Amino acid sequence: MFVGHEFLAFALAGWGALQVGCSDRTALHAGVVAAVAALLPDLDVVYAVGTYAVAVAGGAPLGWDAFWGVANATHRVVTHTLPTGGVATLWLAAAVAVGRRRSPGADRGRSGSTAAVTLAGAAAAGAALLLAGFRAAVSPSAAVVAAGFLACVAAAGWVLAARVGLSTMGVTAAAGVGFLSHPFGDVFLAAPPPLFSPFEPVVWAGRVSLAADPTLDLLGVLAVELLAVWLGVAAFTRVAGDRMGHIDRLRDAFDRRAAAGLAYAPAAVVLPRPTIVDAHVLGATVVPLAAVVGVWAGYASFRRDGGATAGRVGAAVAGFLAGLAALTLAGVAYTVAYVVAI
C-alpha cells in the first residue's frame, strides 16, 4: 500500500470536500494535503534501511523477512499509529498556520494569530506526551524516530503553507484524513500496526486474509491497491479536469494499448506462484509491463499533440492512466488464468 495510501486519502478528502459544498479548487487542495499526510508515515522506512544495514553488519541475515523484522520495531510501531497520526495532524496544521503568518503579504489579524498559537501549543503538548510514551513503553530509539517524524511533518506543513488555499480547519481535517487512514491500509500485507501505541492494549493482532489460497490472497491485495488508486484517479479527474490536458473525463482516458495487459495471463502457469511472502515475483514482472504500456501510450499522445508544452501534461496523464489500466487488466487476466489452472 505504499501507493494506495496516498490515492485513497486524496479520494476521501477530495470527495469529502465536494460533499460539503467546497469548490473544485478547494477540493483539489484538500486532496493534496491528505495525500501528503498519507505519504509521510512511510518515509521513516529510510531510517529502517539504516537500522537494517547496521543489523546486517552485526550478523543479521539478508532478506525481506529479516529486513521487516528489524525495521518494524521502529517503523510501523512508531509512525503507523493513531496517537502519532493525531499529533502529526496538529503539527502539520500548526506549521501551515505559522508559515502563513510569516509569509509576505499575509493577513496578520488577531484571529489568525490566535489560531496559529493555539495549534502550536496543542502540537507541542501532544508531542511531549507522545515522545514520553514511546520512550517509556517502547524504547528511547522509538522516541527519537517519532521526534524525527514530527520534524519532517512540520517541514512539509511549512512547504504547503504558501501552496494550498485551505482554511486552518480545512488543513487540519485534510491532514487528519491522511494520517489517520494510513494505519488501516497496512492490514492486508502484514500484521496490523499497534493502533494505539504507545498507550494501547492490543486490539487488532492479525492481518486481513482475503482468500485461503495464498496466491489468490496476494491477488486480492493487488485488487485492493488498484481500487484505492482508481478512486484517487477518479477524484482527481473530477476536481482537476482543467489540468488534464485533452483528457476531461475518466472515461476518455482509456487507451486501447492498455489491452496489452491481457498478455500477462500466461504468467499464471509460467512463473512461480507468488504469495505474500514472495510478492516480488508478481510485482517485478507485472509492473514493468504496465510501465512499458504507459510510456508507449504517453509517447503516442505527445506526438499526437505535436510536442506542445500543454500536451506534455496530457501525455503524462495519458501514459499513467494507460499503464494503470494495463496493470488492472493484467491482474484480471492473471487471476482468471490462475483459477482455471488450479
- Rounded to an integer, what distance in angstroms lies between the CA atom of residue 236 and that of residue 239? 5
Cell numbers for 226, please give them. Answer: 488498484
- Percent of the chain exceeding pLDDT 90 equals 54
Q: What letter does residue 139 receive in the DSSP assignment?
A: -
pLDDT band at residue 21 using 50, 70 and 90 as cut-offs: very high
Angle at CA of residue 41, ends 211 and 93, nearest 5°:
130
Model pLDDT, residue 139: 87
Which among 26, 6, 41, 42 has a CA at the least distance from the CA of 171?
26
Quick check: 62 pLDDT over 90?
Answer: no
pLDDT mean across residues, the chain = 86
Contacts of 338 (CB under 8 A, 6+ apart): 215, 216, 219, 268, 273
Angle at CA of residue 177, ends 151 and 137, nearest 5°:
50
Lowest mean pLDDT: which of 81-85, 94-98, 187-191?
187-191
pLDDT band at residue 124 using 50, 70 and 90 as cut-offs: very high
Quick check: 248 pLDDT over 60?
Answer: no
pLDDT (average), residues 127-136: 95
Quick check: 145 pLDDT over 80?
Answer: yes
Which among 92, 157, 75 has a CA at the least distance from the CA of 126?
92
202: number of Cβ within 10 Å: 10
Model pLDDT, residue 68: 67
At residue 272, φ and ψ (nearest 5 deg) are: -60, 145
Angle at CA of residue 89, ends 87 and 90, nearest 5°:
65
Domain residue extents for the chain: 4-186, 214-341
Model pLDDT, residue 75: 66
Model pLDDT, residue 190: 66
Contacts of 62 (CB under 8 A, 6+ apart): 56
Quick check: 71 pLDDT over 80?
Answer: no
Model pLDDT, residue 111: 54
pLDDT (average), residues 92-118: 74
Model pLDDT, residue 217: 94
Cis bond upstream, residue 183 (ω within 30) = no
pLDDT (average), residues 242-252: 58
Q: What letter does residue 191 receive in the DSSP assignment?
A: S
Cell numbers for 188, please give them. Answer: 492486508
- Rounded to an integer, what distance in angstroms lies between the CA atom of residue 195 and that of residue 77? 8
Model pLDDT, residue 65: 67
* 334 three-state secondary structure: helix
Quick check: 310 pLDDT over 70?
Answer: no
- Rounded to an integer, what distance in angstroms lies between the CA atom of residue 46 and that of residue 25? 33
